[in-house]
Chain A
Amino acid sequence: MQDKLNEINSIAGVMDSVLVNKNGSIVSSQQSPFLTQSLLESIGREVMQLDAAIDAAGEGIKGFDLLYDYGRVIVQKGSNFYLVVLCKSSVDTSLLRLTLNVVLKDLNEKRVSRGSSGIRMFNMT
């Protein structure tokens, strides 16, 4: 899964990419030191809101392209997850869209499972 995110991140203008499940939990990320807990949580929250918006809009919507002063956030809907890409305005959007189509197909086939919570074990003794 990580190799797919690396493929996206290798495109000029892409800052980072994250896989989020529909509960807003991060399934996979590059674990960049700048993707802090609060930023990851805010991505999770945004995605949950977008999930509700996509459900309300119907089947035709496959994602969102959110434009900000400092860049854009592209959210693509997968079978049971969202792929969130943080990029600069200068990104080659055609190349990014082609890559996302291919990566999404691969990830859909792998059926991304539920994300880990980060804490793998907590057995008080």
Chain B
Amino acid sequence: MANILNGTLSQMNLSEILKLLMSGNKTGKLELSKENKKGEIYLKDGAILYAKWNNKSGADALYELMTWMNGDFNFIPDAAMDNIAKDMFDMGLQNIDEWSKIISEEWNNIRKIIPTTNVVFKIAANKTPKDVNLRAEEWKILANINGAKNVEEIAESIGFSEFDTSRTIYRLYKEGLIEESEKPRPPANELVNGNFFHLLEDALVKVMGPMASIIIEEKIGMLKHDKNAFPKIRLAKLIEYISSDISDETKRISFQQAMLNVIKNI
């Protein structure tokens, strides 16, 4: 059986693929996969007859599949629909357009609060929401919000789709129950020890020669800090200041690379 269409959903979303297949009156199976998960949509003469995803089937499964923003798709023409007796439906282009519009509007709202699934939330400490009624799935997600797990990890741990998880988190955020947690940054009062300046001087001597220590002292002074009490949070700024004195671009980037490795490891 020859594949006629495959690719990635990040470049062509499911509603566009379905519209293409439906307007061409295609018959076959559209397979969708993301990591180890797999969904299927069956079409006959351009109409969607059946969909399967996770433990859902029929229209529910199709709606969830349409919320996927990434993953791979693969259309197998004329694939047979084996052993399907229930949850069959007949969906036309107009319904796909309507669903696509609803999902797209909902994603646009969610994205204002959750721009990527790397975002981490924590319980809102300074807000006291009034009476709140939570549904079971909202409680399940709230119980996983701990200032450490990101949205993707929460979805993974409770077995919800990214869309459902994001949608629920969006609601919890709007209710004032949770707030975004910053990725950990070094505390402003955390200081570097003397070993850092030895490594800095070694790296700078390689590109600037014996003037290295003078340049370092000068730049620390410009930042109004002291070598004995230099805050970690200002290290990148210091490296940037020092780099501005290295005129050779190759040497400058090589110095920056070396110092980035040092910063990451302290």
Name A's B-contacting residues (CB within 8 A): 9, 12-13, 15-16, 26, 29-40, 70, 86, 90, 92, 94-95, 97-99, 101-102, 105, 116-125
Give 15 A-B pairs besides A15-B118, A15-B119 with Cβ atoms closer than 8 angstroms.
A12-B184, A32-B116, A35-B10, A37-B11, A40-B10, A98-B239, A98-B256, A99-B260, A101-B256, A102-B257, A117-B7, A118-B12, A120-B7, A121-B5, A123-B2
A to B contact number (C-beta, < 8 Å): 115
- Docked CA distance A37–B108 (Å): 12
Are the CB atoms of B182 and A33 closer together than 8 Å?
no
Residues from chain B with a CB closer than 8 A to the CB of A26 are 11
A31 in contact with B70 given A90-B182, A118-B10, A118-B11 (CB within 8 Å): yes
- Name A39's closest neighbour in chain B (CB-CB): B111
Q: Which residues of B contact A (CB under 8 A)?
A: 2-8, 10-13, 16, 68-70, 77, 104, 107, 110-112, 114-119, 162-163, 166, 182-185, 233, 236-237, 239-240, 243, 252-253, 256-257, 259-260, 263
Contact A35 B69 (CB under 8 A): yes
Looking across the interface, which residue of chain A has its beta carbon closest to that of B17? A119
A122–B5 contact, CB under 8 A? yes
The residue among A95, A98, A119, A123 with the most chain B CB atoms within 10 A of its own CB is: A98
Assuming the A-B contacts A102-B257, A121-B3, are A9 and B107 also in contact, with contact meaning beta carbons closer than 8 angstroms in the complex? no
By the criterion CB–CB under 8 Å, are A92 and B5 in contact?
no
Asked if B115 and A86 sit within 8 Å, CB to CB, the answer is: yes
Pair B236/A94 contact, Cβ less than 8 Å: yes
